[in-house]
Amino acid sequence: PLQGEILASKQTLHKEIASPFVTEGYACLQALLLGSHLGLSPVTIEGDARTIIKKSQWGIRDKSMIGAIIWDIQQLKRSFHSIQFKDIPRSTNTLAHSVATNCLKNGRESYLIGNVSMVVDDGLLGRRKRESD
């Protein structure tokens, strides 16, 4: 795959999550599960939640409120030949936020290989056009 190419997207609804911080942890875990399911390696996980990215890189037991999620991430990392976690600015992570917003708005989960829904693409393209004007 080309650098920056979208290989797959997954929208998952979770109920009764304690905080946005925990949501970001679940998103990272879901990305790893998707990569593992698709047999991808190497894998780069990008996210704008710096704490989640840092805790996922470390190999030590985390005792915070998301410790169990981080533990699952650290265990799942072993299934990849090569894995990298990158902290990226929120401004460059607009596609992920558009996908999440679309999922919440529609109230349904989806799983797409090789693309994201056209609704998300159109919304993102419209936003980029407005930002460049």
Q: Per-residue pLDDT averaged across 108-129, rounded?
A: 54
Average pLDDT over residues 12-26: 81
- Range with the lowest mean pLDDT among 55-59, 69-73, 105-109, 111-115? 111-115
**Average pLDDT of the residues of the chain:** 77
Query: CA 82, CA 77: separation in Å to the nearest integer?
Result: 8
- What is residue 130's predicted lDDT score, i.e. its pLDDT? 45
pLDDT at 116: 53
In this structure, are residues 116 and 10 in contact, taking their beta carbons and an 8 Å threshold? no
At residue 112 the predicted structure's pLDDT band, cuts being 50, 70 and 90, is low
Specify the DSSP element, H or E, that contains 84: strand 83-87
- The sign of the torsion formed by the CA atoms of 53, 55, 56, 62 equals negative
Residue 7 has pLDDT above 50, yes or no: yes
Instruction: Give the residue-averaged pLDDT of 2-11.
Output: 68
pLDDT of residue 73: 94
Q: 18-119: what fold?
A: Nucleotidyltransferase; domain 5 (3.30.420)
pLDDT of residue 131: 46
- Distance separating the N- and C-terminal Cα atoms of the chain: 32
> Which tokens go with 8?
């797959």
- Look up the pTM and report it: 0.72
With 0-12 / 13-18 / 19 or more C-beta atoms within 10 angstroms meaning exposed / middle / buried, residue 70 is buried
Return the DSSP state at 59: -
What is the distance, to the nearest Å, from the Cα of residue 19 to the centroid of all Cα atoms in its chain?
16
Give per-residue burial for 72-82: e unless 16+ CB within 10 Å, then b: bbbebbeebee
Q: Say which residue, 10 or 67, is predicted with more confidence.
A: 67
Q: What percent of the chain has pLDDT over 90?
A: 18
